[in-house]
Amino acid sequence: MLKQIKLGFLSMLVLALLASCKNDTSSREQAVESATGTPAADQAAPANVVPTANAEEPAAPVGPTTSIAFEETEFNYGKVKDGEKVRHEYKFKNTGKEPLIITNAKGSCGCTVPNWPKEPIAVGGTGKILVEFDSKGKSGPQTKTVTVTANTDPPQTIIYIKGEVIGSPAPTGAVTQ
């Protein structure tokens, strides 16, 4: 009896996963259609994502690839005081022959947070990735990265934000080491 319950539960789980995959494909087709103005069925298959063994790592897209060109891949914000937030927009262009689909952008630590376009970027189109660096609790020279994963070759592009964080002076009477 217990074996039948487990088997039934596993069957339901598999069906739920299959239904989820079908919905993802439909959403991706709608996104490609809105970016290009052409129904997805008339185009090459949109970028699919290959699952990776580590859930922490972004999946590398497969299928038609395109290319991305950033106006700059490194931004130096100079010197800021501990606790200040630095924001910078990295502008880019889809220089390839397929819609550009950014599937992920991940900062090298929790203090570096990217915000990227979720919709496909049409051929020749432009976009921007906003990166915010929170200097709270940081001191000295800082170099942070954002790894952008898209349907490009190679699938990951790294952009950098760097500068120096000037720590707060020690309170009066505090002992420094």
Q: Does residue 67 form part of some domain?
A: yes
Which domain covers residue 123, as residue numbers? 48-166
User: Do 81 and 156 belong together in one domain?
Assistant: yes
Q: Does the pLDDT value for residue 8 go beyond 60?
A: no
Domain count, the chain: 2
Q: Does the pLDDT value for residue 5 go beyond 90?
A: no
User: Do 67 and 31 belong together in one domain?
Assistant: no
User: Do 80 and 129 belong together in one domain?
Assistant: yes
What average pLDDT does the segment 129-147 reach? 97
Residues 126, 100: contact at Cβ < 8 Å? no
pLDDT tens-digit series, residues 107-132: 999 999 999 999 999 999 999 999 99
Average pLDDT, the chain: 76
Nearest to 127 by CA among 93, 89, 174, 99: 93
Q: Does the pLDDT value for residue 28 go beyond 80?
A: no
Residue 77's pLDDT is 98
Q: Does the pLDDT value for residue 148 go beyond 60?
A: yes
Q: Does residue 175 form part of some domain?
A: no
User: Do 36 and 119 belong together in one domain?
Assistant: no
User: Do 19 and 52 belong together in one domain?
Assistant: no
Residue 129's pLDDT is 98
Q: Does the pLDDT value for residue 135 go beyond 50?
A: yes
Q: Does residue 58 form part of some domain?
A: yes
- The pair phi, psi for residue 116, each rounded to 5°, is -125, 160
Q: Does the pLDDT value for residue 101 go beyond 80?
A: yes
User: Do 142 and 63 belong together in one domain?
Assistant: yes
Q: Does the pLDDT value for residue 144 go beyond 60?
A: yes
User: Do 38 and 54 belong together in one domain?
Assistant: no
- The pair phi, psi for residue 115, each rounded to 5°, is -130, 120
Judging by beta carbons within 10 Å of its beta carbon (0-12, 13-18, 19+), is residue 102 exposed, middle or buried?
buried
More confident residue, 84 or 173: 84
Q: Does the pLDDT value for residue 89 go beyond 90?
A: yes
Q: Among 14-23, 56-65, 115-124, where is mean pLDDT lowest?
A: 14-23
User: Do 38 and 57 belong together in one domain?
Assistant: no
User: Do 61 and 129 belong together in one domain?
Assistant: yes
User: Do 38 and 52 belong together in one domain?
Assistant: no
Q: Does residue 177 form part of some domain?
A: no
User: Do 74 and 160 belong together in one domain?
Assistant: yes
User: Do 56 and 135 belong together in one domain?
Assistant: yes
H helices of 1-122, where?
2-36
